[in-house]
């Protein structure tokens, strides 16, 4: 279960209510038109999950449980969401498989990661929506050479899965060489694709509870379109109206497990909202991600006494389901901190979270808190949809195209020129 608390004045008067109603209607039209497909991924994911389960029974290595290392080759939206879910849920998932992520052409990272991979126990999942992402293709070529994988070998191709748009270059390569492929819906953008084949396939192959993840996501998206999540729309409205005064949005998550979820949020938020609006203005909200309690010893200083140009969202977990305690131990010269003896680390971390949140509020900094009763697949599914819907709603208020990324494409064009002059 997720709980939402807002500590800011959204000033929801008649004009604001009309604007919110208009935005909600636009999102409903996006969903019903079929132009934007991520809204339907949770519901459609169950049939995809059935396809993955059938594949497990036909693949010679999966059928015999010989695959232990699943290597995801993808970048940005093709890996960040999956990595986020994997890190959040892996401690509570009973599986003998590990996911590894190759998402950067950093040669040191590639070398270090592949040192852990034995071909005889590995499966390689190549993910590219366009089918020709330069980083992904380059790493895949290197893996083909390093592990002496041959397109002519049916056995080798049983170790490779492709996830891409139907008809893409990667899709055609897979079809030609009898590589199993799963397709991303054409109306789903990369950064909104975590609950498509991009995330569902690797997580399901690693025996994660994808069914519950989808149920949590579907419950939240249904609740939103039933008009039961007005706080999300009010928050989006507030962000858009104070964007010039508060151009920076800080996500402050109180668990190291959220590190990659935070990175996913940064991509989603930055790539979706940093745009030129319909009258030619540059708009956007700069995302910053922090981990408590680590960053409260540094960045909190800037939030409290630096420029008042930030909104803050604190994410808190009530129960970590880990009962470890601070020992009742007295250390010479350190008796002034003995007040914490005997308390659970869970209690200490949440007290630090509450103290940080209260301090931020006391300084009249716009803030809100999202509380998870515990880390579960259902809660993570709901949280994913919460942030995707929030992003779409802010985009509506900004009057931008939330789903394109022309600035990113400019950089890709320049990269090609550097190698083709």
Catalytic residue positions? 271, 297, 412
For 269, other C-beta atoms within 10 Å of its C-beta total 23
Contact assessment for residue 312 and residue 303, using Cβ atoms and an 8 Å cutoff: yes
Distances (CA, A) of 421 to 98, 340, 416: 41, 64, 9
How far is Cα 253 from Cα 249, in angstroms, rounded to an integer? Answer: 13
Contact assessment for residue 49 and residue 210, using Cβ atoms and an 8 Å cutoff: yes
Distances (CA, A) of 9 to 100, 361, 397: 43, 12, 17
Find tokens 């590589």 and name the residue.
179
- Could you report how far apart the first and last alpha carbons of the chain are, in Å? 55
How far is Cα 184 from Cα 276, in angstroms, rounded to an integer? Answer: 27
SS3 for 88-128, per residue? HHHHHCCCCCEEEEECCCCHHHHHHHHCCCCHHHEEEEEEE
CA angle in degrees (0–180, nearest 5) for 92-98-103? 115
3-state secondary structure of 9: coil
Contact assessment for residue 366 and residue 359, using Cβ atoms and an 8 Å cutoff: no
Contact assessment for residue 193 and residue 81, using Cβ atoms and an 8 Å cutoff: yes
CA angle in degrees (0–180, nearest 5) for 280-284-290? 170
| H or E element at residue 371 | strand 367-372
């Amino acid at each position: 279960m997720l709980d939402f608390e807002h500590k800011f004045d959204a000033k929801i008067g008649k004009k604001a209510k009309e604007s919110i109603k208009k935005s909600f209607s636009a999102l409903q039209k996006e969903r019903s038109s079929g132009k934007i497909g991520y809204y339907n991924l949770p519901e459609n994911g169950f049939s995809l999950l059935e396809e993955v389960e059938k594949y497990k029974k036909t693949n010679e290595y999966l059928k015999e449980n010989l695959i232990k290392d699943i290597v995801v080759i993808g970048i940005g939206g093709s890996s960040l969401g999956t990595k986020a879910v994997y890190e959040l849920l892996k401690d509570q998932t009973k599986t003998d498989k590990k996911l590894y992520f190759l998402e950067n052409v950093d040669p040191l990272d590639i070398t270090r990661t592949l040192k852990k991979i034995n071909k005889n126990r590995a499966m390689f999942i190549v993910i590219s929506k366009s089918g020709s992402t330069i980083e992904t293709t380059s790493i895949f070529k290197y893996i083909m050479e390093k592990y002496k994988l041959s397109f002519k070998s049916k056995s080798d191709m049983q170790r490779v899965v492709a996830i891409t748009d139907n008809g893409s270059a990667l899709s055609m390569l897979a079809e030609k060489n009898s590589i199993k492929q799963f397709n991303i819906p054409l109306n789903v953008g990369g950064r909104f694709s975590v609950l498509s084949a991009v995330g569902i396939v690797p997580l399901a192959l690693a025996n994660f509870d994808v069914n519950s993840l989808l149920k949590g996501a579907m419950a939240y998206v249904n609740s939103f379109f039933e008009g039961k999540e007005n706080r999300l729309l009010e928050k989006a409205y507030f962000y858009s109206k104070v964007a010039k005064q508060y151009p920076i949005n800080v996500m402050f998550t109180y668990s190291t497990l959220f590190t990659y979820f935070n990175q996913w949020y940064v991509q989603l938020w930055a790539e979706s909202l940093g745009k030129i609006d319909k009258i030619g203005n540059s708009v956007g909200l700069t995302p910053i991600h922090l981990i408590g309690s680590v960053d409260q010893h540094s960045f909190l200083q800037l939030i409290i006494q630096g420029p008042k140009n930030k909104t803050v969202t604190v994410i808190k977990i009530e129960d970590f389901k880990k009962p470890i305690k601070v020992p009742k131990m007295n250390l010479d010269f350190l008796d002034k901190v003995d007040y914490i003896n005997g308390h659970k680390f869970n209690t200490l971390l949440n007290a630090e979270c509450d103290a940080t949140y209260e301090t931020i509020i006391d300084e009249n900094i716009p803030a809100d808190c999202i509380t998870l009763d515990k880390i579960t697949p259902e809660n993570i599914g709901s949280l994913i949809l919460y942030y995707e819907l929030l992003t779409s709603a802010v985009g509506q208020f900004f009057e931008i195209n939330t789903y394109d990324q022309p600035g990113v494409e400019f950089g890709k064009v320049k990269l090609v020129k550097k190698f083709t002059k």
